Amino acid sequence: QLVLTQSPSASASLGASVNLTCTLSSGHSSYAIAWHQQEPEKAPRYLMKVNSDGSHIKGDGIPDRFSGSSSGAERYLTISSLQSEDEAEYYCQTWDTGMGVFGGGTKLTVL
C-alpha cells in the first residue's frame, strides 16, 4: 500500500527559502504527486504536479517563487523569498490502485 510521508512541521525566516519533502513508500518511486497549500481556515489550493523526473506543472497564478523537483522516491516543494502569507499547511497527494492518497501534511511557519 502506497504511503506518502511528510515531516509534521517546518520553519524558515521571512525572505529565506525552504524545501518541503514528500517521500513515496518503497516500490512507488516512479509516481507523480501533486502539492496543495491550505492556509488557515481556507480550502486547499493546488500548487503543482511534480513528476519523477523532476519536471513540474504549476497551477494558474502560482508565483515563480514556488517550484518542484524530485530525487528517487522524494518529491520536493521549494518556496523561495518566503512571505508571511506562505505560512500554511502543505499536503502532497497521489493516486494508487483506485484510491486517492494524501501525506499527513507539513505545517510551515514563517519566522
Partner 1 sequence: EVQLVESGGGLVQPGRSLRLSCAASGFTFDDYAMHWVRQAPGKGLEWVSGIRWNSGSIQYADSVKGRFTISRDNAKNSLFLQMNSLRVEDTAVYYCAKDRLATSGLFDSWGQGTLVTVSS
Residue 98 binding partner 1, by CB under 8 A: yes
Contact indicator for 5, 104 with CB cutoff of 8 Å: yes
Grid look-up 509516481 returns 31
Q: Is 79 in the site for partner 1 (CB under 8 A)?
A: no
CA distance 43 to 32: 22
Residues 14-33 that bind partner 1 (CB under 8 A): 32-33
Minimum distance of partner 1 from residue 86's CB (angstroms): 18
Per the document, the length of the chain is 111
Which chain residues interact with partner 1 by CB under 8 A?
32-34, 36, 38, 43-46, 49, 59, 89, 91, 93-96, 98-105
